[in-house]
Amino acid sequence: MESRVEQSEDLDTRALSLLQAMTLDEKLSLLAGGSLFKTKGIPRLSLKPMKLSDGPRGIGFHSALRRATAFPTGIALGASWDPDLAREFGEALAREARSVGAQVVLGPAVNICRTPLNGRTFEYFTEDPELNSRLAVAVIEGIQSTGVSACVKHYAANNQETHRMKSSSQVSERALREIYLPVFEAAVREAGVWSVMAAYNAVNGVAACENKTLLSDILRREYGFTGFVVSDWFAVRRTGSGANCLEAGLNLEMPGKGSRYRQSRLKREYEAGAFTEQALDESLRQLLRVWLRTSPDAGNPPGERNTPKHQQLARRMAEQGITLLKNESDLLPLDRQRVRRLAVLGQRAGKRNCLPLYGGSAGVWSPYEITPIEGIRQLLGNDCEIVTDPRGADAAVVIVGLGHRVGGDFEGRDRTDMDLPAEQQALIRTTAAQNPNTIVVLVSGSPLAMPWAQDVPAIVMAWYPGMEGGTAIAGVLFGDVNPGGKLPVTFPAALSDSPAHSDTRRFPGNEDAVHYEEDVFVGYRHFDREQIEPLFPFGHGLSYTHFDYRDLEIAGDDWRGDGTLCLSFHLSNTGVRDGSEVVQLYVACCVPSLPRPVRELKGFKKVFLRAGESCTVTFELAARALAYFCPEDLRWKVDNGEYELAVAASSRDVRLQSRVTYAV
């Protein structure tokens, strides 16, 4: 197989050859799209337009005019904590893209879940940079293994929909480096991502699409990015000029009929000396490398869409993401031999979520969708009577949630609160009063308030589980599937407990600025620091079996320089069912030189064990895991001293811990 270096040199040679054959007008024409999801081409040079496609959880009907496999949304994948599954998803997504002629997939979407009210939380993975990075790298590697380009988005600090076109995210260098940029660094350094999307918002007063610090200084010079940067759709309208964007490092403006990169406008700026042809050529070389690499003529694997294999993957992703939040008296799983009369209620029981533009650009129109009620009926067949009256039923399942309409999980508008609609809350309480075996299934993509949580014995978070979601939900309810999901975000007991909601400067801010004054204390970092009890903590998720952690061992007594620390422990499935456990490794500096989180996730593994089975789980921890970004020196530093290592089942459920000493 051709080496990466040989391939890179060949791409550069071909790109330069094309540039030498182009006129100035032809070069300028390539900087802006030709239509909503295509670039322009140059027919006389046999350069065909490059097609881009939404989105992060499947091929958007709006960008391909084709139905496609609707996989679970990003936060459901986040809840799986499974990079292997994420890589498999990335490959399937790319094959679906290739089947509609797309060369670039606009995803993964990796912005940090800073507020529960963000309308796009359902698209994103998590509130934590380590989990975010591991999943993003896996998805990108899967996509690009097929010769399709991933486009990691939205760069950077794009964490709400309110004022997203106008506002500036005012965030410290330390918070940028520790919370918001690690996923982009990993995407470049580890996954070698070929494309990055610049966000709508400004960062510290400079629009992302003309932010030279972000696009050139950090992304290219520091991280080593060699691909192209594309604007979010219409995002360049807030910038000063095409020359500014070009100098900053924006390679492509989308969609068609460019604003700042309109050919006539760019030519006037060029003739006025605002930029050189050399700068133009360098920008186009970066774009053309990916354009040629992903071309249908480049010998990449063929595409396929709506295959049984992809549908089975969609089901497995849903199963692995579904998170069991509460299960008093082991009500779940239901015993189909005993449940002869099952009440199924709620607005979301028969609702479809996989439809065009449902939720915005992440919407996918699937060829079919199994709703929760359909999944339950298919599983039970004629063995159980499905009713709508909870009185006298053996159990009652209430299926509620938000949906992708305005006011729910929806691009372009944030929610106003964390509440379910009043009628859904009333239904839960009424059902619980009439049937003690009430199970609430939540179909939603973001944290929800649950003032009714004490009224019900079981709560299942299904997220938006995709086109096979009903099958997965039914399988979890009746024990065919042991839920393996863990929360990728903290569920606060009250919105005011969340770090972005102490005042309106932090959220929603205004058209000028949103102030990230919580700094690095995002998500569980804030809850731990302020000693606030969440409704459900980051990393929480129950199982139908039980896991025992014991015998933590650390290789060596100290830790020095750039060395790697090895630790291991014994994990056993002590229950009667097969199942998976997400083992989480947290690190804390015992005597920090500046305020640091109580503990930070620095590693995790999803381990499957059969009933009664045991294994040794091993982590290798690099010294970088101890580092913080020093705002005075503007570099990463590691303090000498003691560090606590905690092996946990969630951020609040530490099972094993020990201390080690680090010295340079």
What is the reported pLDDT for 556?
A: 67
Cis previous bond, 154, omega within 30: yes
What is the reported pLDDT for 220?
A: 98
N residues, the chain: 664
3-state secondary structure at position 369: coil
Ranges under pLDDT 50 in the chain? 1-2
Distance CA 197, CA 199 (A): 6
* Phi, psi values for residue 401, rounded to 5°: 160, -160
Residues with a known catalytic role: 232
Q: Quick check: 510 and 412 in contact, CB under 8 A?
A: no
What is the reported pLDDT for 147?
A: 96
The secondary element (H helix, E strand) that includes residue 535 is: none
What is the reported pLDDT for 2?
A: 46
Domains and CATH numbers, the chain: 13-293 (3.20.20.300), 311-490 (3.40.50.1700), 547-663 (2.60.40.10)
In the numeric block, which tokens belong to residue 77? 């994948």
Could you tell me which of 98, 95, 129, 97 has the C-alpha nearest to residue 112?
Answer: 129
DSSP 301-365: PPP--S-HHHHHHHHHHHHHH-EEEEEGGG-PSP-TTT--EEEEESTTTT----STTTTSTT---
User: DSSP E strands: which ranges in 353-490?
Assistant: 385-387, 395-401, 438-443, 458-461
Could you tell me which of 196, 180, 246 has the C-alpha nearest to residue 514?
Answer: 180
Q: Quick check: 214 and 155 in contact, CB under 8 A?
A: yes
For 452, other C-beta atoms within 10 Å of its C-beta total 21
What is the reported pLDDT for 1?
A: 38
User: DSSP E strands: which ranges in 473-542?
Assistant: 513-515
DSSP 382-399: TSSEEES--TT-SEEEEE
Q: What tens digit of pLDDT does each residue of 374-421 get? A: 999 999 999 899 999 999 999 999 999 999 988 899 999 999 999 999
Distance CA 285, CA 268 (A): 22
Distance CA 374, CA 470 (A): 6
What is the reported pLDDT for 4?
A: 53
Residue with tokens 């409704």: 535
- Strand 438-443 relative to strand 104-105, pairing: unpaired
Distance CA 358, CA 326 (A): 29
Q: Quick check: 112 and 524 in contact, CB under 8 A?
A: no
Q: Quick check: 589 and 627 in contact, CB under 8 A?
A: no
